[in-house]
């Protein structure tokens, strides 16, 4: 029972992830009323759980390679501090990344526990923060050029294009939700895996491991976030980015989903390793992938829609978020250990 109390820190993070980050996937479609929120929420809730359970383990393994949080109370504090920094930065309208916050918090825990984090993993993760928006830019720019060419050459009627885009947004939205679950579930439950008690059980035809149960619970918390609070955020985001045409929204969502998928698929990583490309399975920021994707299209359109203030904010976020998260976690762990007498490491 105590485990579930501690797990609530991670589940809270999952809830806020569901409430906020799915707006990157379905925001434009729902905000512009191309898709009803109910439809979007059901699709996102289902596919986020599927993605978490099927493919979510890879990112969690990488996080635990960085440093393995050995106690439940320590994992709780790491999750809580990450959630607080995400909440604080979101309030200030900064494009915050849950992934950066959790990595910073894990490093803060490592220093507090007197354990050196794995620096090569740290560098590997930090590089993905830079490479993921850049990859988003490249993918969206390529998709934009291809789709623009197809649309212009096909002479398709605008009504039919709208129909195709609408159904395309649903299909890509499902893929996006799957990729979000697969990639970001590590932020939600990754730190709890080393210290979790035995939660495995046998369904008769299939044995469910402790990690599977955690991945499922984490995915469920994201789904609850989508259903309970997603409508508000999706409507807001959708209206804010209404300058995007549905076709561009489709490209941005597809590009973002591909980036998330690339950084969470073991199979794809293995395949790319044969051609000498190394892609680590790391939880990345879906918001940064979206911003990178929008910038990619903006650059093709000769920078007309590029907001360089946002680029500056992202770069500052790469430095600011993990450092602040590490410091806050360090301080909070001190309080938890000395005031509440919790065994945090």
143 lies in the binding site for other proteins (CB under 8 A): no
Q: Report the nearest approach of other proteins to the CB of residue 18 (Å).
A: 24
Question: How many Å apart are CA 235 and CA 72, to the nearest integer?
Answer: 37
Distances 22 to 177, 232, 238, 267 between C-alpha atoms, Å = 7, 11, 11, 25
* CB distance 181 to 49 below 8 Å: yes
Reading the block at residue 83, the tokens are 């959630």
Q: Report the nearest approach of other proteins to the CB of residue 111 (Å).
A: 49
Q: Report the nearest approach of other proteins to the CB of residue 249 (Å).
A: 10
The residue within the footprint of other proteins, chosen from 50, 147, 199, 323 (CB under 8 A), is 147
Reading the block at residue 105, the tokens are 């918090």
Nearer to other proteins, 105 or 248 (CB): 248
Question: How many Å apart are CA 5 and CA 11, to the nearest integer?
Answer: 10
The residue within the footprint of other proteins, chosen from 130, 160, 171, 310 (CB under 8 A), is 160
157 lies in the binding site for other proteins (CB under 8 A): yes
* CB distance 188 to 14 below 8 Å: yes
Q: Report the nearest approach of other proteins to the CB of residue 150 (Å).
A: 10
Classify 69 in phi/psi space as left (phi over 0), alpha (psi -120 to 50) or beta: beta
The residue within the footprint of other proteins, chosen from 4, 33, 207, 334 (CB under 8 A), is 33
List all residues 6 or more positions away from 126 whose beta carbon is below 8 Å from its beta carbon: 318
Nearer to other proteins, 217 or 241 (CB): 241
Nearer to other proteins, 65 or 166 (CB): 166
The residue within the footprint of other proteins, chosen from 61, 148, 235, 299 (CB under 8 A), is 148
Which of these ranges, 4-12, 153-161, 179-187, 306-314, lies near other proteins under the rule CB under 8 A?
153-161
List all residues 6 or more positions away from 51 whose beta carbon is below 8 Å from its beta carbon: 177, 178, 179, 180, 181, 182, 183, 185, 219, 264
Rounded to the nearest 5°, which phi and psi values hold at 340? -95, 0
The residue within the footprint of other proteins, chosen from 50, 94, 113, 151 (CB under 8 A), is 151
Q: Report the nearest approach of other proteins to the CB of residue 298 (Å).
A: 13
Size of the residue set binding other proteins (CB under 8 A): 25
Residues within the interface to other proteins (CB under 8 A): 32-36, 39, 144, 147-148, 151-152, 155-160, 162-163, 166, 242, 245-248
């Amino acid at each position: 029972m105590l485990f579930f109390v501690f797990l609530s820190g991670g589940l809270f993070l999952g809830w806020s992830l569901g409430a906020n980050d799915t707006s990157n996937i379905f925001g434009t479609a729902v905000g512009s009323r191309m898709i009803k929120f109910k439809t979007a929420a059901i699709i996102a809730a289902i596919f986020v759980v599927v993605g978490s359970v099927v493919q979510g383990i890879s990112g969690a393994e990488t996080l635990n390679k960085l440093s393995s949080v050995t106690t439940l109370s320590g994992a709780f504090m790491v999750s809580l501090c990450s959630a607080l920094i995400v909440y604080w930065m979101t309030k200030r309208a900064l494009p915050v990344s849950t992934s950066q916050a959790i990595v910073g918090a894990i490093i803060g825990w490592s220093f507090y526990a007197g354990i050196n984090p794995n620096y090569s993993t740290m560098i590997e993760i930090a590089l993905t923060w830079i490479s993921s928006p850049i990859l988003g830019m490249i993918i969206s720019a390529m998709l934009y050029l291809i789709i623009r060419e197809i649309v212009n050459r096909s002479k398709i009627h605008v009504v039919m294009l709208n129909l195709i885009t609408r159904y395309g947004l649903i299909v890509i939205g499902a893929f996006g939700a799957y990729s979000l679950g697969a990639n970001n579930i590590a932020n939600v439950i990754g730190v709890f895996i080393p210290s979790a008690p035995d939660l495995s059980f046998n369904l008769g035809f299939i044995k469910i491991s402790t990690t599977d149960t955690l991945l499922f619970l984490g995915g469920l918390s994201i789904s609850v976030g989508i259903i309970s609070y997603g409508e508000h955020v999706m409507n807001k985001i959708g209206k804010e980015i209404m300058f995007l045409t549905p076709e561009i929204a489709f490209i941005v969502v597809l590009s973002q989903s591909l980036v998330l998928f690339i950084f969470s698929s073991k199979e794809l990583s293995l395949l790319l390793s044969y051609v000498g490309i190394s892609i680590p399975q790391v939880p990345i920021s879906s918001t940064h992938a979206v911003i990178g994707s929008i910038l990619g299209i903006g650059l093709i359109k000769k920078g007309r829609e590029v907001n360089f203030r946002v680029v500056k904010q992202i770069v500052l976020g790469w430095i600011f978020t993990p450092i602040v998260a590490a410091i806050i976690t360090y301080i909070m762990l001190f309080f938890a250990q000395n005031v509440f007498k919790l065994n945090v490491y």
